[in-house]
Structure 1
Amino acid sequence: MRVLNQRAVLDRLRAGGPATRPQIARETGLSKPTVGQALLDLEQHGLVRAIGRTTAGPGRSAVVYEPNPAAGHVLGVDVGRQRIRAAVADLAGRVIARVDERNRCRSASALVKAVREVASRAAADAGLSLDDLLVKVVGLPGVPDPRGRTLRHAPNVPGLERPGLLEDLEAALGAGLVVENDANLAAVGEQAQGAARGAEVFVCVSVGTGIGMGIVVDGRLFRGAHGAAGEIGYLPWSPGGGHVEAFAAAGSVVALAAEHGLVAPSARDVFAAAGAGDERALAAVRDEAGRLAFVVASVVAVIDPELVVLGGGIGGSAALLREPMEAALRRLTPFVPRVVAGELGDGAVLSGAVAMGLRSARDLVFDRRDDRHG
């Protein structure tokens, strides 16, 4: 019962914010003496702390408690084709250190070394070591394969499919490593801090060098039987062959622009030209919106999401894509969810990595409380 009471009090503080002993007693249904003992135990274990006293109202002032954000720390890492980003956060979710480097790696061993260096720098900037971090979540563009200790379906970053890659990452970063698909983490990030807050069933479409989708059902990330749920890049484009990734990822925007007479070095340039009113670029954007609508229509008939979040490199141009995409969806299907731009931009994967790490770490510090303080 003592452990259950401690958990109830800590959960109340995490969910409802700082509170006094009488407030916690009222909201949990526990007696004031029981709450007082639980707070004392949690304070001794370093999981809660007093932050002041109430000053308003009649009677004696009461001590105000909150979860101790320094009770543990997590690391999030986003490994992309262009950049490697890392962030260290405390248990309140406050990012206290961040490192962002270009990804120049052309082999798995170089990538593992670079991830360790970026992670170590972020930890050092936070005044910590890698061993001090309870959970480390690394987002990668592929499907983690625990049996082969590698990633599958990760052609866009060199070396990721090498056997033993996950083992090497764990050796480099230490215990507490979680490797997750980057599109899944983008969905978790948008759910925690972005456009999908409060959504129970939604998809987050990440369009960049490749194309992927994070799926959330009943508020929880859905991975499928083998971790490959949302690998929409492998949807067939037509009976004649080819996959969606070749026809709807960022490279296709450049090709579509060329078909309309506009030579542009990147999808970003095409969208910039469209934003400036270039008719050739606008035509390419409409074509891309139609292709994305085809992909989304294939998914919504199965999942029935309330929301489609556009993320990745193209997500920043959702204002241009949304109207023609919704119009195309209305032509393709009777099931037309709301389409919105992701709010986190290129930080969605890193935010999702931190959010996923926090979920595990908050339970971990409670389970380990006796080990921490004897």
Structure 2
Amino acid sequence: MPTQAPPPILRQISTRAVMKVLLEQGPTSRAELAKATGFSKQTTSEVIRTLEESGYVRMKGIDSGKVGSPAVIYEVADEAGYALGIDAGASTIRAALVTLSSKIAGELTLPSDPRGGRELVAQLGAVKRRLLAETGIAPSALNVVSLAMPGSVDPGTGAISHAYAVPEFDRFDVFKELQETFQCPLLMENDINAAAVGEYWNGDAKGAESLAFLSIGTGIGIGMLINGQLWRGATGAAGEIAYLPIGSDPSSPLCPERGALELAIGAPAIIHRYRMMGGGENVSMKAIFDRCAAGERAAVATVEESARIASLAVLSVLALFDPAEIVIGGNIGRRPEMSQRIIRFLPQFTHRKIKLSVSSLGARATMMGAVALGLNHMHDSLFNLQSLPASLGLPGGREPSVDFHDRKASNKG
């Protein structure tokens, strides 16, 4: 069957420009669209008519409150497309189904299957089916699944490498099996990269010229954005700062797998440090932070030393990449007992002014980044220049609004 020729380039350009305004600014009149795009009223009307006929735009109402003739207001038809953003962490899955204009149609949170592997793949498929069923959205309306998780996809085997907290994902073609499970276009991104995108899109660092998101949790890593684009490096391994020779012996036999920095301030390392400080056995990270807040000597000493090492990591990021802003996140990094001490230590090591903040999105940063990447893909595939590919860029940064479902869920298939 012959491939259908794309619309003329000028029509693609005008369609793209009109949709960009509607997606970023919300409901808009024809006159305002013409002014924002620089097109004539006739061209704007023709584009609107084509988009209405295609089902991507609809009339919202009439604004009669201004001087002159009443203005017809147009808006994006939300039901014309959906993206599913998923954060598949080692312990928790967070997922949000969003409309074409970024409204959250449904959201859920549930524990990850601890077995990992194909059991986790099946669980992710169940998450997709459940959200579609609860929101009454047909599977055919789902344009893309955007999945963020630890590690990176090996382009040769489809396996996930460096995902030590997710069992079995390095043993089979995860990407292929996920595609078969989701039955729609699939994007996969590293979880920390996705969190950086989330902060850039809707966090306190929204629209930063350059941004480093430093995640401190079970593992350590950074996600970097430069001019709104993720920086992945030559092999996709950019940001693996766990391997910086800071905080522990880089010649340790464990370093090639985990990295010296992670062996110093990852969650297992902090728990071990607390035990060495005389804090006792089998104590969780949460308990250590709670005891630190209460002034327990061993806990305070443990967090102080961990924060000192973490501040050296921040200094390394600053020296290597010179980002305009650094955001600290992760289950450990965003704790005030940790983040406030990191901020306090930095002036001891540098006189440079650092714009550093704690993640405002918290545990939702990675999911929101996955959503943003999914929306970007959907918008590009529907409205971008087919003859001259160039990304529309991330969604316009309007705060996603909740539509008709917003819930947390237990671990049910």
More displaced 10-residue stretch of structure 1: 74-83 or 236-245: 236-245
Which residues of 2 match residues 124-135 of structure 1 at below 5 A?
A: 124-135=133-144
Cα distance in structure 1, aligned partners of 2:22 and 2:138? 28
Tell me which residue corresponds to 2:268. Answer: 251
What is the SS of the residue equivalent to 1:134?
strand
User: Quick one: which of 374, 379, 386 aligns to 1:362?
Assistant: 379
Deviations for 1:129-188, whole angstroms, at most 9, x for unmatched residues?
Answer: 444311111111101222221111111110111231111111111231011100111111
Query: How big is the shift at 1:64?
Result: 0.6
User: Quick one: which of 329, 335, 355 aligns to 1:311?
Assistant: 329
Deviations for 1:240-296, whole angstroms, at most 9, x for unmatched residues?
Answer: 434211111122222232333323622122112222333432222211111111222
What is the SS of the residue equivalent to 2:208?
coil
Cα distance in structure 1, aligned partners of 2:115 and 2:14? 52
Tell me which residue corresponds to 1:11. Answer: 20
Which residues of 2 match residues 16-55 of structure 1 at below 5 A?
A: 16-55=25-64
Tell me which residue corresponds to 1:372. Answer: none
Tell me which residue corresponds to 1:293. Answer: 311
| Paired residue type of 2:261 | V
More displaced 10-residue stretch of structure 1: 297-306 or 278-287: 278-287
Query: How big is the shift at 1:235?
Result: 2.3
Q: TM-score, normalised by structure 1?
A: 0.92
Cα distance in structure 2, aligned partners of 1:8 and 1:104? 43
Query: How big is the shift at 1:54?
Result: 0.9
- Residue 353 of structure 1 pairs with residue 370 of structure 2: yes
Structure 1 pair 7–104 and aligned structure 2 pair: CA distance change class (3 A): closer
Cα distance in structure 2, aligned partners of 1:346 and 1:161? 25
Cα distance in structure 1, aligned partners of 2:283 and 2:132? 37
Tell me which residue corresponds to 2:156. Answer: 147
Tell me which residue corresponds to 2:403. Answer: none
Cα distance in structure 2, aligned partners of 1:110 and 1:368? 39
- Residue 277 of structure 1 pairs with residue 295 of structure 2: yes
Cα pair 2:12 2:383 within 8 Å, conserved: no
User: Quick one: which of 337, 341, 351 aligns to 1:320?
Assistant: 337
| Paired residue type of 1:161 | D
More displaced 10-residue stretch of structure 1: 331-340 or 3-12: 331-340
Tell me which residue corresponds to 1:343. Answer: 360
Structure 1 pair 29–12 and aligned structure 2 pair: CA distance change class (3 A): same
| Paired residue type of 1:346 | A
Cα pair 1:99 1:121 within 8 Å, conserved: no
Cα pair 2:91 2:114 within 8 Å, conserved: no
Cα distance in structure 2, aligned partners of 1:45 and 1:258? 63
Which residues of 2 match residues 173-184 of structure 1 at below 5 A?
A: 173-184=182-193
Cα distance in structure 2, aligned partners of 1:221 and 1:209? 23
Structure 1 pair 215–143 and aligned structure 2 pair: CA distance change class (3 A): same
| Paired residue type of 1:275 | A
Identity of aligned residues (%): 35
Query: How big is the shift at 1:62?
Result: 0.8
Tell me which residue corresponds to 2:241. Answer: 232
Query: Which structure 1 segments of 5+ residues have no match?
Result: 370-374
Considering fraction of residues, name the structure with more helix.
1
Query: Which structure 2 segments of 5+ residues have no match?
Result: 1-9, 387-413
What is the SS of the residue equivalent to 1:309?
strand
User: Quick one: which of 110, 116, 120 aligns to 2:129?
Assistant: 120
Give the aligned length: 368
Cα distance in structure 2, aligned partners of 1:360 and 1:240? 42
What is the SS of the residue equivalent to 1:315?
coil
Tell me which residue corresponds to 2:197. Answer: 188
Cα distance in structure 2, aligned partners of 1:368 and 1:134? 18
Q: TM-score, normalised by structure 2?
A: 0.84
Tell me which residue corresponds to 2:397. Answer: none
What is the SS of the residue equivalent to 2:345?
helix
Cα distance in structure 1, aligned partners of 2:349 and 2:140? 52
What is the SS of the residue equivalent to 2:331?
helix
Cα distance in structure 2, aligned partners of 1:130 and 1:292? 44
Query: How big is the shift at 1:239?
Result: 4.7
What is the SS of the residue equivalent to 1:81?
coil
Query: How big is the shift at 1:220?
Result: 1.3
Cα pair 1:251 1:266 within 8 Å, conserved: no
Cα pair 1:144 1:227 within 8 Å, conserved: no
C-alpha RMSD of matched pairs (Å): 2.0
Query: How big is the shift at 1:366?
Result: 2.5
More displaced 10-residue stretch of structure 1: 270-279 or 215-224: 270-279
Cα distance in structure 2, aligned partners of 1:130 and 1:181? 25
Deviations for 1:9-46, whole angstroms, at most 9, x for unmatched residues?
Answer: 22222223322111122222211111111111111111
